[in-house]
Structures are given as structure tokens and as C-alpha cells.
Amino acid sequence: MAEELGTQPTRQPSALDIAAQWAQLPAEHLAVALSALEPQLAREHEARVLAEQARAHFELEQLRADATELGRAHRRYLVGVYSAAVVALAALGASVYSGTHQQPWLAIAFFGPTLLSLVKIFALGRSDANDLKQAAAAAKAAANMLPPPPP
């Protein structure tokens, strides 16, 4: 008995546990026990319903947050693609204009590394060191093919 005084029960007995204990008594006592047990069952049910509602509300808020973040990511992607298209068109236009107005070096500068690097940065959101090396090599090859500038 002294050992039981210091210990705490591992769990709260449920209404059904209490009903099972009262079931061993006569029918009159059982009727009284069940009438006293009904409010406890209602409280337990209400607690379960509230917990389920809270869980459902949390899940709904999480889904809304995920949908919002996906929408933002998509808008960022589209802004990058549109920016890449604008930069590409501007660089190509500047290259054509410079090339037709006797400025081949400037045309190569607009068309080469500028176009490739900036479009990749805007469209994909990343740039590699090899891309810049390849663009520089292409620009150098194109510049070597140009006639020397007049004296």
C-alpha cells in the first residue's frame, strides 16, 4: 500500500474502464454509473472532435502556404524567362545595329559572351564557369576572323 502512494498512474482511466468496473455491481448501481458516465463520454468525444478539427485546420493552412509558395516560384520563373527574352532581343538588336554600322568588334561583344551568359543567368538562374570559357573562345574565334581595323 505504501508503494502505491508514491506512484502516479501511467494513464487516465477512460470512461469505458470505469464502466467495466461498475459492471460488476448490481443493475441499480450500473444505471447510476452510466448516467454519471455520460457527461464524461461527451467531454472525451468533444476533446477528440476539437483535436481533429485543429489537425484539419493545420493541414489546410499548410496546403494554402504550399500553394502560395508554388505560385510565387512560378512567377519568379516566368519573370526570369521574360527577362531572358528581353535581354536576348536587346543584345541581338544591338549586335545587328553595330554590325551594320561598321562596328564589328562591338557586334561581337554584344552577340558573344553577353548574350549567352546573361540569357542563361536569367532563364535558368545559374551560370557555370565553362559557359563563360566557351563563350570567350567563340568570341575570340569570331574576332580572329575579322579583317584588321583600318590604320
Domain-wise residue ranges, the chain: 15-145
Grid cell, residue 23, equals: 459492471
Q: Give dist(CA 120, CA 99) in Å, integer.
A: 23
Q: pLDDT digits over 116-146, tens only?
A: 777 877 788 777 777 777 777 777 777 777 7
Place of cell 443493475: 27
Answer yes or no: pTM beyond 0.75.
Answer: no
Q: Give dist(CA 60, CA 70) in Å, integer.
A: 15
